[in-house]
Structure 1
Amino acid sequence: MISVTVATPGQDLTAQWNDLIRRAPGNAFMNPVALKAAFDTMFAAVYVLLAWEEGVESARLVGLWALQHRNVMMLWPALLEARPFNYAFLSTPVIDPAFAAEVMPAFFAAIRKNPALPNVVSLKEMDADSQAYAAIQKTIADEHHAHLTLTRSLRPSVSREKGVKNSGSTRKKLRQDWNRLSALGRLEMVNERTADATKAAYEQFLDLEKRSWKGDKGTAILCSERDAEFTRRLIGDLAAEGNASVALLRLDGRAIAAQVLMYCGTTAFTWKIAFDAEFAKYSPGVLLVDKMTEQLFAETDVQAIDSCSAEGSFMAQIWTGRKTMVDMVVDVGSTRSLVFGMEAARQYGYERLRDLRDWLRSTSLSPAKRRLAPSS
């Protein structure tokens, strides 16, 4: 029998979580340590659904799903966001595959029965290839829940078995860029996993990001004291248990690119990257990720890497693996609600506006100007 408890982050679940991710595909953003960092710093209002297998000597954790209670704007009904905090890039619940068919209906029922939780759930960046997503789809169909799929996309990924480009023009350019950059001085990639080294390297990442175009646009983490406080706590706490690191590409000891990594089970997540614009022509970020991938597969127990990035990112150029990702909205209530209709319409409209923006960008005036130019 499966029972579900709803709690805020705080209780020590280290042993239960570590046991669960030995049996289930991991999600670094659902790590109880990360959830507690978001809750303690008041960065997000997080609720944690815990599914327990009863009837054994002691209850065993077979599922965990963290949800963020959000008000997207004033005078708008609250909803649950399945990415538990901003800067989380995966909303997939962590579920023991042997119990997925039982856990997802129990999760939906727990939300429905809890008066503190809205029934409308926004599922952004859900892994559509996962057993958890299949269980969500089955629960929606079996219980006739109102839902709307907004987008499908492909996320770059790589595993030991497939996904690394070992030949072709991409590999040739990587070798050329590495050799050109090496000619300027001593070039090395380091990825220390100790807590102190990670925290120090994270400060170097923050500095690189602040000095990039993100700093100019005000979107770098250091542009917000609140974001900086949370992410320092997040990376520091994860690093303390060996679940975060910052890979650095250094030229004569100077960091010219930094990739922040999170780990969950045998999966690494490339969370955030920054590089020094002075060296942009050498593609230092691409070189760093390529060397980091090689190091992780050669020297650690990492079996796969999730890019946490969109299909059009540079990682799609060096990795051939892809995950199908879905954004959707679902009403877990017993009947379709007005709130669901409002939220589904809002998100649908937002996605169509993004499509229009992208179309306008792709149909700039430049081609027209070229057509008007006199022929030679």
Structure 2
Amino acid sequence: MRPEPSFAPAPMPGPARPARRAPSPASGTGLAVEWLTPGALAPGEQARWARLSERSPESNVFALDWFMGAALHHCTGKQRVRLAVVRQADGEWLGALPLALAVRIGRTPVPHWLSWRATNQFLGGPLVASGGEEAFWRALLGALDTRPGAGLALMCEGLAADETATLALLSTVAEDGRRSWIPRRTDRPARLGRGDTGTADGAASPALRKARARLSSLERRLARDLGEVRVELHPLDRDPEDWIARFLDLERAGWKGRGGSALACEPCNAALFRKTIREGHRRGHARLASLAAGGRVLAMTSWFECGGRAFGFKMAHEESARRHAPGRLLMRAVAEELADPALAFDTCAGEGAPADPFWPDRRQVIDCVVAIGSPARRGVLAGAMGSAALWRGLSRP
């Protein structure tokens, strides 16, 4: 369960200016904002979405057209989600962000436009052409100012604090003098491109040396008890269907299956997993690995690589072998596979994930609430957010 929002004000790079309406996106910029139905995109629009992904090398994998398209197809349920598209004068997409109307922020009644993502999309945020981040946010916020509907705010969940699009949002909000809040801020294990040692001088950290020694001992014990230990990286030229089926069965056989949270327990989640692994594998982005002992598969994991960064996805392990820590043994192998210092790795671990010596850094992830609409609307929003903060005994500057 998520902690209650703290409603901290978003950082302001410079002194705040009086609130002003953002200019109309169609006024002097050559940009227009359109609200498209994801399931009814014409082939030409789907092609523009795909070309936008090619122009967005810094975007996270979960925002790319082939991943987000699959999520929208399989996981929206009864939600009414629209794809907010900022279109250039030549018809190409500058950026896209799925939005849905939501009614609460934490326990506080605040109708707002929420950036939509599926349960198994571990980062949020828009897909934006490189270099167009500020223009995208100005156009989208301007459109929401003009036609906010029932929403008092735009809320973007799961933004990586170091992504260019996130920095552009915070900068644009500050420059426009908009009120904004950070209702949630968390971090998770990662490697931010420094290598796998955990120290600046290249020497293995004490925690990493200890973890390696312990896992080496467990690996020897596993080999003695069950047979030869092997780690296999699924070849890119081999069909992934058998790997997918085995992973779903392995995960469902464990505690996630008993608790109803395994992918196979929800048809939409299983379908998203199958589709994104297939498509990611076809495109050369998905990496699939397994650890076996004596020919018996004990742990499996997957991750994606694109844009010079890797993103952890799903892992499962055999519970009967948990004393041998097969999941940790496999993660050690993944860390060694990704030892290239240029390839950053976001574990995409859940909130509250402890420190991990194989991933010695922490990547910060935030939610951001931004005021939209008329001054009156912004005043109502500020009152609601302020009341929530006061109720929780939190101070605001």
Question: What band does the TM-score fall into relative to the shorter chain?
Answer: 0.7 to 0.9
TM-score under structure 2 length normalisation? 0.73
Q: Which moved more, 1:12-21 or 1:270-279?
A: 12-21
Q: Could you tell me which residue of structure 1 aligns to residue 395 of structure 2? A: none
What SS does the aligned partner of 1:88 have? coil
Q: Map 1:118-267; keep pairs closer than 5 Å.
A: 118=151, 120-165=153-198, 166=204, 167-183=208-224, 184-192=226-234, 194=236, 197-267=239-309
Match of 1:65 among 97, 105, 118: 97
Q: Which residue of 2 aligns with 1:369?
A: none
Offset, 1:77 = 7.2
Summarize the Cα distance change of 1:163–1:81 in structure 2 as closer, same or farther, 3 Å threshold.
Answer: farther
CA distance in 2, matches of 1:202, 1:302: 29
Letter in 2 for 1:260: S
Cα distance, 1:328 vs structure 2: 2.9
**Equivalent residue number for residue 3 of structure 1:** 31
State the alpha-carbon separation in 2 of the partners of residues 106 and 305 from structure 1. Answer: 32
1:205 and 1:347 mapped to 2: Cα distance?
Answer: 43
Please name the residue that 1:19 is paired with.
Answer: 54
Give the structure 2 partner of residue 316 of structure 1: 356
Change (3 A) 1:344 1:249: farther
Distance 1:16 1:252, change over 3 A: same
- 2: CA distance, partners of 1:14 / 1:328: 25
Q: How many residues align?
A: 345
Higher alpha-carbon deviation: 3-12 or 58-67: 58-67
Distance in 2, Cα, partners of 1:310 & 1:239: 24
Q: Which moved more, 1:214-223 or 1:154-163?
A: 154-163
Give the Å deviation of 1:31.
1.1
Identity of aligned residues (%): 23
Q: Is the 8 A contact 2:247 2:316 kept in 1?
A: yes
Which gives a bigger RCO, structure 1 or 2 (Cα 8 Å, sep 6+)? Answer: 2
Contact 1:163 1:319 in 2 (8 A): yes
In 2: Cα distance, 1:170 partner to 1:134 partner: 35
Q: Quote how far apart the aligned CAs of 1:309 are.
A: 1.3
**Partners of 2:349 and 2:315 in 1: CA distance:** 11
**Structure 1 residue aligned with 2:142:** 109
1:188–1:249 Cα contact (<8 Å) kept: yes
Distance 1:211 1:278 in 2: 10
AA at the equivalent of 2:220: N
Q: Give the TM-score, by structure 1 length.
A: 0.77
- Distance change (3 Å), C-alpha of 1:304 and 1:140: same
Q: 1:235 to 1:343 in 2, by over 3 A?
A: farther
Amino acid at match of 2:213: K
Task: Kindly report the root-mean-square deviation, in angstroms, between the aligned alpha carbons of the 2 structures.
Answer: 3.6
Identify if the C-alpha distance between structure 1 residues 211 and 265 changes in structure 2 by more than 3 Å, giving closer, same or farther.
Answer: same
Q: Is the 8 A contact 1:68 1:84 kept in 2?
A: no
Matched-pair contact (CA < 8 Å) for 2:298–2:317: yes
Partners of 2:147 and 2:235 lie apart in 1 by: 40
Q: Which residue of 1 aligns with 2:83?
A: 48
C-alpha distance 332-181 of structure 1, shift in aligned 2 (>3 A): farther
Task: Note the C-alpha offset of 1:287.
Answer: 1.6
2:99 maps to amino acid: L
- The SS at the match of 1:188 is strand
* Per-residue deviation, 1:243: 2.7
Q: Which residue of 1 aligns with 2:20?
A: none
Matched with 2:26 is none
In structure 1, the gaps of 5 or more residues are: 353-376
Residue 8 of structure 2 is matched in structure 1 by none
Q: 1 or 2, which has the higher helix percentage? A: 1
TM-aligned CA deviation for residue 211 of structure 1: 1.4
Q: Is the 8 A contact 2:110 2:381 kept in 1?
A: no
Counterpart of 2:334 in structure 1 is 292
Aligned position for 1:329: 369
CA deviation after TM superposition for structure 1 residue 291, in Å: 0.6
